[in-house]
Amino acid sequence: MSDKKITIGFDRYIERQWLDETAEWVINGAIKEELHAHIDDYLAPFINGDTSLRKTKNVLFGVWFKTDKKNQAFKEQAKALYRTANSSEKLVIHWGLAVASYPYFASVARLIGRLFRLQDDIHSKELIRRTVEQHGDTESVRRAATRMLQSLSQWGVLEAGEQSVFHLASKNPVDNPELITWLTGALFYSTDRQRYSIEELVSDSAWFPFEVSTGFFDITRSNLLEVVHQGVADTLVAVKHG
């Protein structure tokens, strides 16, 4: 799948609290019409204009509600994990769902992670330039990258400095084997790849806000993934079928 053909989807400023509220409604069994009404009422004080409200709601629906045959089981497991998660673990779940639901989000997160592996801070112009290189030089691509930076800053993942410079906030340690195995499985739903090694899944730069170790990856904790090849160097896993 070519990066340039990715539909942006995640193109609005999204606050962490909005995701938390949406998750609670979905987990408590809100049907589509109820969820529309809940989100409309909740966001009314924050967002002006029907178009902006609709587009923001679409992102929240995409993260937590919309499913297809490919990711339905993944999102169902997210609900189960969320019920017992603490605040930091809930952020991990929001993140995994965003990666699985929006390949653009995964792509930009990966760019940010790669930049932080090379340097201590990033400038918004640098990220936008790299995003444009991958997804095309359009106003919608530029605007979406800017809004994603603003969102991640509000989530506490990034710290906004002066002159559009962003620093990496303290990493969130994740040591729940079931949660880590679920999180890394998000990559299967954001790409067309059929197989990954455990090292690839765990070390992907899209997980830059978190401390994730291969030692906590446990395939036995997953209802979604299975080992398809056990080699001397790599163990390959794939999504279960049937």
Residues 6+ apart with CB under 8 A from 11: 55, 59, 104, 140, 143, 144, 147
- For residue 68, pLDDT over 90 is answered with no
State phi, psi for 23 to the nearest 5 degrees.
-60, -45
**DSSP symbols for the chain:** --GGG------S---HHHHHHHHHHHHTT--HHHHHHHHHHHHTTT--SHHHHHHHHHHHHHHHT---TTTHHHHHHHHHHHHH--HHHHHHHHHHHHHHH-HHHHHHHHHHHHHHHH-SEEEHHHHHHHHHHHH-S-HHHHHHHHHHHHHHHHTTSEEE-GGGEEEEPPPEE---HHHHHHHHTHHHHHSS---EEHHHHHH-GGGTTEE--GGG--GGG-SSEEEEEE-SS-EEEEE---
pLDDT reported for residue 8: 92
- For residue 232, pLDDT over 80 is answered with no
pLDDT reported for residue 45: 95
pLDDT reported for residue 55: 96
For residues 229 and 18, which has the higher predicted lDDT (pLDDT)? 18
- For residue 4, pLDDT over 60 is answered with no
- For residue 1, pLDDT over 60 is answered with no
pLDDT reported for residue 149: 97
- For residue 223, pLDDT over 50 is answered with yes
pLDDT tens figures, 38-62: 999 999 999 999 999 999 999 999 9
pLDDT tens figures, 111-148: 999 999 999 999 999 999 999 999 999 999 999 999 99
- For residue 213, pLDDT over 90 is answered with no
Q: Which residue, 27, 33, 37, 110, is CA-closest to 63? A: 27
Mean pLDDT of 69-79: 93
Residue reference for tokens 């030089």 = 137
pTM for this predicted structure: 0.95
- For residue 242, pLDDT over 70 is answered with no
| 16 touches 94 (CB < 8 A) | yes
- For residue 90, pLDDT over 60 is answered with yes
pLDDT tens figures, 150-197: 999 999 999 999 989 999 999 999 999 999 999 999 999 998 899 999
pLDDT reported for residue 2: 41
| 190 touches 103 (CB < 8 A) | yes
Mean pLDDT of 103-110: 96
- What is the C-alpha separation between 150 and 138, in angstroms, rounded? 19
Please, which pLDDT band fits residue 5 given cuts at 50, 70 and 90? Answer: low
